Amino acid sequence: MLIALDDVSKQYPNGTEALRDIDLRIDAGEFVFIVGSSGAGKSTLNRLLIREELPSSGSVVIDGTDVVRMKRSQVPFLRRKIGVVFQDFKLLPNKTVAENVAFALIVTDHPARAVREETERALALVNLTQRRTHFPRELSGGEQQRTAIARALVNRPRILIADEPTGNLDPVTTWEIIKLLIRVRELGTTLLISTHNAEIVNALRQRVLHLDHGAIVRDERQGRYAA
């Protein structure tokens, strides 16, 4: 069991109940779509996994570690196991594609040689080697998205969380990204993808987790976007 949530609820300080009584088990190597209307709690669930937020009650265990009770000093090591692709990319505008990707390795204290080699590997994986010296503003939306994916993957995390990875992309680019994610999954990474894109979910027929008002209302092995 890679991810285990038991009886998890999350209430934000302003009183919003974002998640209610979530029980969830995800095995290593799974491909999981998280669907649900806007405000259903998808991003909140992701934030609990990397301990950007703490649950109000319940337990979150990742790779055998109790995320809720873990020491603050251990949080960085949890996060190194989980790559995150953010909806707004969060690329640094004054760094090139290669520098943005290398950044994740440098700040986690990898030696220079590893930084160079792993950065090249990640760039090759997302097919951005040609764009390595470009700045984010010089890239298309899909290229920025792939840069964000490369950065999320560069330190070989066990889990990849992608929040709306195809948000503003045209259909062709969307499929490029999805093909890339399938390749990542084949390399052994567990994928959690939050999306509003019914077409993709319906085409891939993977596990679908449907959130509604903070509760899991559907969890299907080979699910579709809507029941």
Partner 1 sequence: MRRIGYVVAAAWQGFWRNPVMSVASTLTVAVMLLLFAFFVMTDRGLQAAVGILESKVELVVYLEDDAKPTDVLELRRRIENDPAVEAVAYISKEQALERLKEIARRRPELALEDVTTNPLPNSLEVKLASAQETRRVSGMLREEVGKGVIYDLVDNPTVVDKLLTITRVLSIGGLAVLGMMLFVALFVIVNTIRIAVHARRDEIEIMKLVGATDWFVRWPFIVEGMLVGVFGAIVALAAIAAVAGPVASSLVGFLDIVPVSLGPNFIAQLAAGLIGFALLVGGAGATFSVRTHLAK
Ligand X SMILES: Nc1ncnc2c1ncn2[C@@H]1O[C@H](COP(=O)(O)OP(=O)(O)OP(=O)(O)O)[C@@H](O)[C@H]1O
Residues found near ligand X in the complex (CB under 6 A):
12, 14, 16, 18, 36, 38-44
Residue 213 CB, shortest distance to ligand X, in Å, is 9
What amino acid occupies position 194?
S
The closest alpha carbon to 211, from 47, 17, 49, 36, belongs to 36
Of ligand X, partner 1, Mg ion, none, which one sits near residue 155, judging by CB under 5 to 8 A according to partner kind? Answer: partner 1
Q: How many residues bind Mg ion (CB under 5 A)?
A: 2
Count the neighbouring beta carbons within 10 Å of the beta carbon of residue 161: 25
Which tokens sit at 186? 């084949």
Cα–Cα distance between 206 and 221 in angstroms, integer?
6
Of 35 and 85, nearer to partner 1 (C-beta) is 85
Of 32 and 82, nearer to partner 1 (C-beta) is 82
Sheet holding 215-220, edge to edge: 82-85, 159-163, 190-194, 31-35, 207-212, 215-220
Of 114 and 182, nearer to partner 1 (C-beta) is 114
Of Mg ion, ligand X, partner 1, none, which one sits near residue 79, judging by CB under 5 to 8 A according to partner kind? Answer: partner 1
What amino acid occupies position 201?
V
Q: Check residue 155 for interaction with partner 1 (CB under 8 A).
A: yes
Q: Check residue 84 for interaction with partner 1 (CB under 8 A).
A: yes
Of 42 and 210, nearer to ligand X (C-beta) is 42
Residue 98 CB, shortest distance to partner 1, in Å, is 15
Count the neighbouring beta carbons within 10 Å of the beta carbon of residue 84: 21
Of ligand X, partner 1, Mg ion, none, which one sits near residue 16, judging by CB under 5 to 8 A according to partner kind? Answer: ligand X
What amino acid occupies position 44?
T
Residues 102-121 that bind partner 1 (CB under 8 A): 103-104, 106-109, 111-112
Which tokens sit at 162? 């992608």
